[in-house]
Amino acid sequence: MKPEPAYQVLQQRLRDEIAAGAYPDGVRLPTESELVAEHGLSRQTVRRAFQDLVADGVVYRVPGRGTYANRGYFRQLGSIEDLMSLSEDTTMEVLQGLSRRVDVAAASRLRLEHDVVYTVVFRRVHDEIPFVVTTVHLPEHMARRVFDSPELADGAVGTNTVIGVLEPHLDQPIAEAAQSITVAPADDLVAGAVGCAPGHPMLRVDRLYSDTTGTPVELSVSHFLPEQYTYRVTLRRSS
């Protein structure tokens, strides 16, 4: 039987140590030089092990500081179904129940002829750790179909998604989510909900969901805490 490459052996050892809690939040993993000296490996072997761990979302690197265990929430997304399956292992806690408001920017992105939208604000929790605050805007004619849903009321806690609540009431299924990713500072609401300081850099992910006719049905704006979240998208070549 062919022996495992040295980088895979080291990689698995580090995975096991991370899973066992050897590197809690804020504790740096050994440097490449330290691992080279400890295990008698080449620097290239150690670097390959680290590269694979970073690629798999197991660790993350901070330039000038080192490599740390990623003990937050990791998700690989590639489809609408992947987004809907967030409910499988996270909890949605509604901070502000579905209500009517005037929001010019949201209404414009939803291609509405007026400025009224219906908005719900919630956070998601994984293993009792909050990692994201999301604001969802719905057109009025969509919101009225789910306005009395207990899942979207003030203080509701459950394992669901807004698109999961909304889609059974749609005439056409959701077919597309146009997404943009930027960095934005945490405002007071976001900071209080995820336990960071106001102004802390957040990963902002905007998604505009449309049905099979191309009509926008939902706009979500999420602020993810980078220390607690790893985002990955798989891109495939078209045939």
The residue type found at 11 is Q
CATH number for the domain harbouring residue 50: 1.10.10.10
55 and 137 fall within a common domain = no
Q: Which residue in this structure is represented by tokens 């490599």? A: 67
Last residue of a domain, one of 32, 50, 69: 69
Looking at the structure, tell me whether residues 84 and 182 fall in a common domain. yes
3-state SS string over the chain?
Answer: CCCCCHHHHHHHHHHHHHHCCCCCCCCECCCHHHHHHHHCCCHHHHHHHHHHHHHCCCEEEECCCEEEECCCEEEEECCHHHHHHHHHCCEEEEEEEEEEEECHHHHHHCCCCCCEEEEEEEEEEECCEEEEEEEEEECHHHHHHHCCCHHHCCCCEECCCHHHHHHHHCCCCEEEEEEEEEEEECCHHHHHHHCCCCCCEEEEEEEEEEECCCCEEEEEEEEECHHHEEEEECCCCCC
pTM assigned to the model = 0.70
pLDDT at 79: 58
What per-residue confidence (pLDDT) applies to 72? 62
Give domain status of residue 89, yes or no.
yes
Tell me whether residue 1 is in a domain. Answer: no
Looking at the structure, do residues 124 and 206 belong to the same domain, yes or no?
yes
Cβ distance 231 to 224 under 8 Å?
A: yes
Q: What is the pLDDT of residue 184?
A: 96
Assign residue 100 the CATH number of its domain.
3.40.1410.10
Question: What total number of domains does the chain contain?
Answer: 2
For residues 110 and 136, state if they share a domain: yes
- Measured between alpha carbons, how far is 138 from 120 in angstroms, rounded to an integer? 9
Q: Do both 200 and 114 map to the same domain?
A: yes
Same domain, 136 and 187: yes
Q: What angle do CA 56, 195, 149 make, to 5 degrees?
A: 85
- Report the Cα 79 to chain-centroid distance in Å: 14
Quote the pLDDT of residue 158: 92
The residues of the chain scoring below 50 in pLDDT are: none
Residue 107: predicted pLDDT: 96
Q: What is the pLDDT of residue 76?
A: 53
From 29, 53, 69, the end of a domain falls on: 69
Domain that holds residue 40: 6-69
Encoding tokens for residue 145? 């179909």
Does residue 238 sit within a domain? Answer: no
pLDDT at res. 75: 56
Co-location of 50 and 80 in the same domain: no
